[in-house]
Chain A
């Protein structure tokens, strides 16, 4: 038993070669080959029709939107979109697949030969993308008890027929960490394009990995092992780390690597053999005769290209160069297209990027998740309202501290900052005469800190500022309070 988490000298002798296959559920309203809705979480078998149930006599009809999403994604990865592509049937028997074949693509995929640039330890690395194709998802089996002991299993076909996009990377990923980075960057692109919600927990994004080791400098690839069931970024990295150690030790011991499919068991932190090459399926692919070859018009592709948004990596770089933001800020702000748009809209209304960034990161993201596009687009604190709030701080109308309370109130009431400040009388006390009176009162009532200050304890001044602020319910301009205090204390 190989324990995870231990550094292993053996791995130093080998070069790791990883390729990822990512399956993404497309955010179309209807399924790949019928009009059924794709909404997640409906009661079992309520989102089905004869077509997605594979009833006798039914025929598939291609979802145009799914093709559009596939083409958009392909273009975002710089792929060559094939002018003509075909669907093919992939056969194997399993009850979650109503027809016992899956309509997928085989010899003529939607797109080929692209790439994804990722940042590894501050350096850009380009990972090739071999192919991108579309297919239909399968249903879900629900077992009574565990798979091994269940007396019966039920099938929910709601998911059967949901559009899936499979993207296969080239075997150019060099470490488990790189694999996780690739997957994150991949997910970001899909989410930016609005073609997938990227939710790995719900299974909207799924990943299988192929991994092999070879001696450093060797030209031939080693025997590859496929790992399935990698349903989080962490699992991808952990499973691959485990597999690197397992394979390295086997190679060190002179044992051959068996070409097989292994399953990642997150609970045990290990992979185990699922089926060997001898038991690999013969999928008997052949062109789907119920669908005519799909010919994409140049205008269709051009339209998809024109609709491409700025992609996360480019946007991140621009945020650093255009706004002078630290890379960390740029990373956080580009975690979703909605958040990036929010930030830029706010900066247009209040052109101090770092201040806006700070407020978005510390306040806005405290109350809503940065990748929740809907929440960001629908928040009551719109970019212009945030800018309105920041202007009040900037012109000294309110203090930064008060501003945070106002932010909370804006969130609750939906009012803008100015009306809240006005209504609740939160304007800073900037009237020197009034402040002088309050300072006098505070100094008179608190002889001890005054005494301490005179004895040379500078910290006592801070306590006095706090007392003045408290007396003004935080409305005093802190700079003014400081100045008045210094004058008065020096006279004593």
Chain B
């Protein structure tokens, strides 16, 4: 058992002074309040660590050093006056480069936006800033969030802090690696088919995909609008609750954000799961899956049972169709969302064109990578006259069936527990076949298609010492319960004590 995270432990006093980058958000903020360290000291420590280690990891595309330090100084002042803004004040965070940041280059991992500097902040960025968080910089990602390894970034690959030869997962690989490598106290990512949960599993951190509509998408560069959702990466579940609370809630700029009250998520972390009904979907334990993953997840289910939860096998029969449906709907929406990158208004424009259409074609040919082009073509095809009904129309119908699968399951159980991914982190270049890459998402796309909240927490290690992720899926807007289960599990085990060794 870990020591209770509520309350500031005396043993952390030294760590706060010498290595503030090792602390969770709640520990760090306690240290700020106790005067053991300051936002500026912590920000400097993070910047130093980025300078020392990010060349190896490649988590950041842009480090906003000066802005971070000036924000930290303002935060120092608030603590000095005894008026911090709340549980994120002075906390150094990283943002996936998919979020628009005013006056800070935002590339979405693409050459076509390599020079794009947004004139506005995404709503989640505004909310984090309003909460006093200090933005360290923008993190690497698969181009336009299309990928599961961060190898499809137009700029550089990101390396898994647990094994630099391996991928951090994707598409939010930079954010996951930054938190795992202690290069940021927390980070934001986006999850369209698993892009927060899968890298969280690969990097052994907590990664939450909230309910669709829980967090505003305004200012998040769209990949697939009906699936995209913003989610936090943190060291532990309590931090996850704190970040979620800060970013969740209705935004008048996003018509799909829902006007549901935002609960005090951290208060839901009681450690008590007694009597909770947990469903274990049989389709999420496939014959071909990694045995280390299966063993770790089964053990984790055993831990939850010991804590007093009851488990039962359930069936989500549409699971097999999830990937197929996802790879129609997501590319279809992407082909539309990415139509605006044409060299006319911002970003890349390829010179030497004969005429307008030639300029647009050349710009898009030069500006998009192979995976993005593949998906634009897939999606364009799926929406074309004569094919719409057979592809996009049919996929939407199956999506409804996927949603019903979950509805039926949640009539019987409170949460669903399953592996986040079928395997652990793989080596760079190992999965060159796009289909093999797509199959990484097999256990995560269901949550996106049904719009449900799901978190990934560390639940063990493979024989090679790579983290394994346990996924907890809940009913719509039931993040509190999802986090309570994950937190109870985390508190009952000691997996978080292990840290990646960076030299």
Chain A interface residues (CB < 8 Å from chain B): 50, 53-62, 89, 91, 93, 95, 98-101, 153, 155, 282, 284-286, 289-292
Contacts and interface: CB of A to CB of B under 8 A. Distances in A.
Given A91-B336, A95-B342, A57 B221 contact: yes
B225 A290 contact: yes
5 contacts: A56-B100, A57-B218, A99-B340, A286-B383, A292-B255
Nearest to A56: B221
A89 B339 CA distance: 11
B7 interface: no
Contacts of B217: 59
A100 B340 contact: yes
Contacts of B384: 282, 284
Contacts of B122: 57
B116 A56 contact: yes
A286 B336 contact: yes
A50 B118 contact: yes
Contacts, number: 96
Contacts of B218: 57-59
B120 to A, nearest CB: 5
A54 B254 contact: no
B385 A282 contact: yes
A290 B342 contact: no
Contacts of A101: 336, 339
B255 A62 contact: yes
Nearest to A92: B339
Contact of B336 (A58, A59, A89): A89
B340 A98 contact: yes
Nearest to B254: A59
A56 B113 contact: yes
Contacts of B255: 59-62, 290-292
A357 B86 CA distance: 72
A265 to B, nearest CB: 22
A54 B100 contact: no
Contact of A286 (B119, B339, B392): B392
A25 B357 CA distance: 29
Interface string B329-366: 00011011001101011100000000011001000000
B115 interface: no
A292 B254 CA distance: 10
B326 to A, nearest CB: 14
Interface in B240-260: 252-256
Which of B340, B360, B392 is most buried by chain A, counting CB atoms within 10 A of its CB?
B340
Contact of A289 (B225, B345, B356, B383): B225
Contacts of A155: 344
Contacts of A55: 100, 118-120, 345-346
Query: Main SS of the interface on chain B?
Result: loop
B315 interface: no
A284 B252 contact: no
Contacts of B426: none
A301 to B, nearest CB: 21
B232 to A, nearest CB: 18
Nearest to A93: B360
B256 A56 contact: no
Which of A93, A95, A284 is most buried by chain B, counting CB atoms within 10 A of its CB?
A284
Interface residues of B, number: 43
A50 B253 CA distance: 12
B311 interface: no
Interface string B201-222: 0000000000000000111111
Contacts of A57: 99-100, 118, 122, 218-222
B339 A99 contact: yes
A292 B256 CA distance: 6
A321 B254 CA distance: 53
Which of A50, A55, A62, A98 is most buried by chain B, counting CB atoms within 10 A of its CB?
A55
B332 A61 contact: no
A56 B118 contact: yes
B118 A98 contact: no
Contacts of A56: 100, 106, 108, 113, 116, 118, 221-222, 340, 346
Contacts of A284: 335-336, 380, 383-385, 388
B91 to A, nearest CB: 24
Which of B122, B357, B383, B384 is most buried by chain A, counting CB atoms within 10 A of its CB?
B383
A100 B339 contact: yes
A292 B257 CA distance: 10
B90 to A, nearest CB: 27
Contacts of A286: 332-333, 336, 383, 388, 392
Nearest to B361: A93
B126 interface: no
B384 to A, nearest CB: 6
Given A55-B100, A95-B342, A292-B256, 11 more contacts: A50-B118, A50-B119, A54-B345, A57-B218, A60-B255, A91-B339, A93-B339, A282-B385, A289-B333, A290-B222, A292-B255
Nearest to A286: B383
A43 B239 CA distance: 49
A93 to B, nearest CB: 6
B226 interface: yes
B253 A61 contact: yes
A13 B342 CA distance: 50
Contacts of B219: 57-58
3 shortest A-B CB distances, which residue pairs? A100-B339, A289-B225, A284-B383
Nearest to A60: B255
Contacts of B225: 289-290
A140 B48 CA distance: 50
A320 to B, nearest CB: 48
Nearest to A291: B255
Contact of A98 (B100, B256, B345): B345
Contacts of A153: 356
Interface in B71-129: 99-100, 106, 108, 113, 116, 118-120, 122
Nearest to A157: B345
Given A56-B106, A59-B253, A61-B255, A93 B357 contact: yes
A57 B123 CA distance: 10
